[in-house]
Amino acid sequence: MPAITPHIRIQTADFDVGEEIAGLSRGRKDIGAVVTFTGLCRDEAGKLSALELEHYPGMAEAAIQRIAGEACTRWPLQGVTVIHRYGRMEPGDNIVLVATASTHRQAAFEAATFIMDFLKSRAPFWKKEHRADGSQGDWVEAREADEAALSAWGK
Amino acid sequence: MKLIYFAWVRERIGKAEEVVDLPAGLETVSDLLGWLRERGEEYENALQHPEVIRVAINQEHVAHGEKIAGANEIALFPPMTGG
């Protein structure tokens, strides 16, 4: 199987999930499964008006490229797309997309989960809250569960 | 040496980046964090719990025991919260 090149985009602009799925499978007859995960900005029961996402330009692309590349060595994938936005996001807005394509569903599901698990705490992004009442928000704290998820993958 | 700060580390130090001349004898990331803490109240405030600070040398995430020789760019930031 020829090595595939993951498509990584770090951008402020929104993305169209349907268009990204179509882009992975267009013109292909060998793909049996496409799995997508979309991460959205949520309002925390009305408390949040927005999230401000900061990133480390350069390192963000490289880190996600490395994570997606690692997924390609672990599972037989036929396509990977990862899009991560930065800037200001309001509740309901897309933040991140991971899409994986494979012959069978298990590889696509597992690879998408692996990429998200590593992306949460190894890709250099930080989220700052903007509160609905106009007060100064906090930086979102890393969750221990996210770090534990990495250990579960054995590295 | 170029230092870059992100998220609350950047806010507490009060700048996004700076170029510094490191004194001789600083060997590891830990040494660098210790030296930075002595540069003023804002650094002390940002780095008071050095164990939570994440570090990248030349855009590669490294442990605090890593040697800093050969680094062009060292970034300090809180634990990452992507996704």
The nearest CA of chain B is from the CA of A126 a distance in Å of 5
Q: What is the pLDDT of residues A101-120, one digit of tens each?
A: 999 999 999 999 999 999 99
CA distance from start to end of chain B: 31
B45 membership: H or E segment, kind and range = helix B41-46
- Beta carbons within 10 angstroms of residue B42's beta carbon: 13
Host domain of residue B28 = 2-77
Least CA distance to A124: which residue of chain B?
A: B80
pLDDT > 90? residue A123: yes
Q: Tell me whether residue A2 is in a domain.
A: no
Provide the pLDDT for residue B59: 96
Contact A123/A64 with Cβ under 8 angstroms?
yes
Q: How confident is the model at residue A136 (pLDDT cuts 50, 70, 90)?
A: confident
Q: How confident is the model at residue A144 (pLDDT cuts 50, 70, 90)?
A: confident
CATH number at residue B15: 3.10.20.30
Q: Tell me whether residue B19 is in a domain.
A: yes
d(CA B37, CA A14) in angstroms, rounded, equals 40
- Please report the ipTM that was assigned to this predicted complex: 0.95
Q: Tell me whether residue B47 is in a domain.
A: yes
Share of chain A above pLDDT 70, in %: 98
Residue A121 near chain B (CB below 8 Å): yes
d(CA A131, CA A137) in angstroms, rounded, equals 6
Asked whether the beta carbons of residue A127 and residue B59 sit closer than 8 angstroms, the reply is no
pTM of the model: 0.94
Q: Tell me whether residue B48 is in a domain.
A: yes
Q: Dig out the tokens for A84 from the structure.
A: 């991560």
Residue numbers in chain B where pLDDT is lower than 70: none
Structural domain count of chain B: 1
Interface test with A, best of B61, B62, B81 (most A CBs within 10 A): B81
CATH number at residue A91: 3.90.1170.40
Provide the pLDDT for residue A147: 87
Measure CB to CB from residue B82 to each of A119, A128, A139 and give the nearest one.
Answer: A119
pLDDT > 70? residue A2: no
d(CA A122, CA A50) in angstroms, rounded, equals 23
> Taking the CA atoms of chain A, what radius of gyration do you get in angstroms?
16
Q: Dig out the tokens for A132 from the structure.
A: 């609905």
Give the residue carrying structure tokens 């036929």. Answer: A78
Q: What is the pLDDT of residues A57-76, one digit of tens each?
A: 999 999 999 999 999 999 99
d(CA A57, CA B68) in angstroms, rounded, equals 21
Structural domain count of chain A: 1
Q: Tell me whether residue A100 is in a domain.
A: yes
Provide the pLDDT for residue A58: 96
Question: Which positions in chain A touch B60 (Cβ < 8 Å)?
Answer: 59
Residues 27-66 of B with CB under 8 A from A: 56, 59-61
Strand A77-85: give its sheet, edge to edge: A7-11, A77-85, A94-102, A33-40
pLDDT > 70? residue A139: yes
Q: How confident is the model at residue A155 (pLDDT cuts 50, 70, 90)?
A: low
